Structures are given as structure tokens and as C-alpha cells.
Amino acid sequence: MKRSAKKSSTQDQSLLKTGLFSKEEASIFIRTGCAHLHSSILGSQDPTVAVSLNQLEGSPTSYSWEIAQTATPHRLTTSTDRNGVIENILSASSLAKRSQNRSRLHQVAEELLTNAIYHSYKNSDGSDKYDRREDAQLQSEECVLVRFAENLNGMNLIVEDQGGSLTLNDFQRAFERCYQRKNGREIGIETKHSGAGLGLFMVFELSAHIHVKVEKKKKTCFSVWIPDSQQFDPDTFSFNIFEE
Amino acid sequence: MENDKLIIEKVVVNGQEQICLKGTIDEDTDFSSLLKENGPMVLNLSGVTGINSLGIRGWVNFWKEQAGKKVFYVECPPVIVRQMSMIPSFTGTAEVVSVFAPYICDHCETEELVLVRSDEFSATPPQIKETFSCSKCQAGEMELDGGPNQYFAFRKK
Ligand SMILES: [Zn+2]
């Protein structure tokens, strides 16, 4: 695992972008293959950039905002438990006592949990194992783990599935559709598509930091930082996906 | 027509007929009852408490098929304003008449929604109250929860 990360580090580092971007500009970099992007007034001096570079070198350091890593996980085994888990998180959160924080956290959590249940487990032909129009009962080894922690500045939500099927390409396709519409082109939201893409787009728009770690066919760890609404700075965000 | 998560009902407000949506919009929402309406439609969205990606998709596709219809959104709550800012096709060809802006007290964190009309939010910068006294604690100032440019981003789209 480490070796392959090191082997590809030169290539990956060239795909690390730093600067000051809008989310829409960032989406263009991501659509052209950028898997590591940091927007900050500090540019390449932003401390989160060093963490990304370390990770590319195979050093398993974590971002300072990932405060939920050691939190006790909520275990999710059925789609109908989603609301219960989300309500548990919301009721334990101090920041979510304010409706703007609550509503954004609710929206992000719902999309991440839904994607974890319905779009991470695949049949051998690559299609989704569980149909989003039906209730899903996960196998015991497919349990989705949800961790949450917060501080005065914001909230960290980590959703871990045991499918490991998310790719950079999923984000690229989602942004392609959603941001193209933003540019005024009349592109409808596909009716056939299961909806995973729009969910990813929404999570990207509502979060400041995203860190996704994928162990192919084993596990996806999707970690987001949602800043407190009063401290939200649209220019400060990062996106990192590590596929192993 | 409707499910227990979203109630769609007609009310008359100041002599104007409005269609009120109350609850959450998701994959189970059936918008077909809105098809029975002829003429301009005034949708009062103040009762919408949540929406997910499949609800957004259903909403966008439903209104796309009703492209010729004159639709007005009134009293949009913050959760709807956020979708309008993120996804321009969420508004489609509808005219946004008024939105609620969320204010919060910097002292006791009491929240209050303030209605902002289109002539106020269309101005540059938006003509909204910067602060006002909290009526609950009388000690703090109410201010918009989040920056105005961010909150009213849907205007540019
Ligand atoms: Zn107060």
C-alpha cells in the first residue's frame, strides 16, 4: 500500500493544486484529474497542504480538522436506520442547536449515508447491489460506520463503508453535470441515474474540507468538515481523494 | 398525490390563492397534484423543512416539464434558498417573490426568520437589516446567520 503510494507520488503531486479558488473553479481542476486541491489565502503554505503531501508520500498523518477519527462510531445496517443515526448525531451536537448548522449537517449526513448504503456495494457487473427505491438490509460485513465530533469552529462527519467503490471519476461525472447546469446550460438532472452524483455535488458545496480514502473493494472513508455557519469562508476549502 | 412526509394544500392569503407545501421533499414526493392547477401558481414554501438529492431531482424535472407555466415562489425558507443558490435549475423559470433570512442573536442565540422581498434582495448589496435588537434577551444584536453574499447567491444565477 505504502509502496504504491510512493511510486505514484511524483505524478500525484503534480496534480496537487493550491491557490485561491471558487468551488466552481475547483470543480474544473477536479474534472481534469486533480485529486488534491487546497484553496486558502495561505496558498501552498496552508498547513493542510503539508498533510496532503505527507499522505502522498505514504505517511498516514491526518488533517487537523478530522477530530471525529477517535469518536465511537454509530453502526448502520439498514437504510431505515439512517434517520435515527442522523437524529442521534444532531441531538448530540451543540452547533446543530442552531438551525443553519443543523440543516446543513442533516443534508450532508443524509447524502453520505445514502451513498454509503446504496452506491458503495456493487454486483459483479458493477451495478448497485441495493436499489435506492427499496429498503436495504446490509450484510453484517457491510456495516456502515458513522463518526461525528465538533469543536467551536465546525463539525467533522466521517462515514465509512466496506464497499470501497468510490472513485475520483464519480466526482468528475457529478461535477460535470451539476456545474455545467450552473453555467446556464440546459442540462436536466438525469432521471435514470440513481442520484449519487447530485449527492456528491451537494456535499462538496456544503462542506469546507473533504478527505476521501478508498481501499478499492474494501473500504471507503469519507470525511467532511462543515464549518460553523457564522465562520463559513467560501474561499477556504480542500478536496483530497486517495485511491489505493 | 401526497404522502405523510409532504402535505400539499391550498390556502387563501390576503385574497390570493396559494399552494402550501409542508414537510420534506424526497424520493417519495409525488408532485402530480400540482398538475391540476391552471393559470399562475403561487407556491408558499415556508413549510418545507427538508429536501434531499432525489427530492431536488424530482422537483427540477417536474418543473422542467411545466416550462410554460407561470410559477411564483413565496416565503422560501433557508433550506430552499440554499438549494436555489447551489442548483440554479432548482428555481427554473419560477419567479422568487420573497425569502426568509435567518437571523441569530449574538448573545442568547435566539433565532428569527425575517421576510425579505425580491426588491430588497435583488438590490446590490441586498437591502436587508444588518442588525436589530434581540426581543428576547434585550441584550444582544440579531445578525444574519452567514454572510449575505453567500445567502443570497441565488440572485446571480
Ligand atoms: Zn438575545
Interface test with B, best of A100, A102, A115, A134 (most B CBs within 10 A): A100
Residues in chain A: 244
Q: Name the minimum distance, in Å, from the CA of B17 to any CA of chain A.
A: 29
Q: Name the minimum distance, in Å, from the CA of A78 to any CA of chain B.
A: 17
Interface test with B, best of A97, A101, A107 (most B CBs within 10 A): A107
Confidence band of B138 (pLDDT split at 50, 70, 90) = very high
Nearest chain B alpha carbon to A107: B52
All domains in chain B, ordered by first residue: 1-96 (3.30.750.24), 103-157 (no CATH)
Residue B142 Cα to ligand 1 midpoint, Å, equals 7
pTM for this structure?
0.92
Predicted local confidence at residue B4, as pLDDT: 83
CATH topology of domain A10-243: Heat Shock Protein 90 (3.30.565)
Can you spell out the DSSP letters for A157-205? EEEEES-----HHHHHHHHHHHHHHHTT---PPPSSS-SHHHHHHHHHH
Please state which of the ranges A8-12, A113-117, A139-143, B105-109 shows the lowest mean pLDDT. A8-12
Can you spell out the DSSP letters for A55-116? HHTT-----TT-TTTTSPPEEE-BGGGHHHHHHHHHHH-SGGGSHHHHHHHHHHHHHHHHHH
Nearest chain A alpha carbon to B92: A186
How is chain A split into domains, by residue range?
10-243
User: What is the C-alpha to C-alpha distance for residues B83 and A206, in angstroms, rounded to an integer?
Assistant: 10
User: Could B50 and A106 be called an inter-chain contact, meaning their C-beta atoms sit closer than 8 Å?
Assistant: yes
Predicted local confidence at residue A2, as pLDDT: 41
User: What is the C-alpha to C-alpha distance for residues A151 and B84, in angstroms, rounded to an integer?
Assistant: 29
- pLDDT tens across B65-120, in order? 888 889 999 999 999 999 999 888 899 889 999 999 999 999 999 999 999 999 99
Q: By the CB < 8 Å criterion, does A77 face chain B?
A: no
Q: Which residues of A touch B147 (CB under 8 A)?
A: 232
Interface test with A, best of B57, B90, B104 (most A CBs within 10 A): B57
Predicted local confidence at residue B156, as pLDDT: 67
- pLDDT tens across A171-187, in order? 999 988 777 655 554 44
Please state which of the ranges A51-60, A106-115, B33-42, B124-133 shows the lowest mean pLDDT. B33-42
Please state which of the ranges A95-99, A186-190, B1-5 shows the lowest mean pLDDT. A186-190
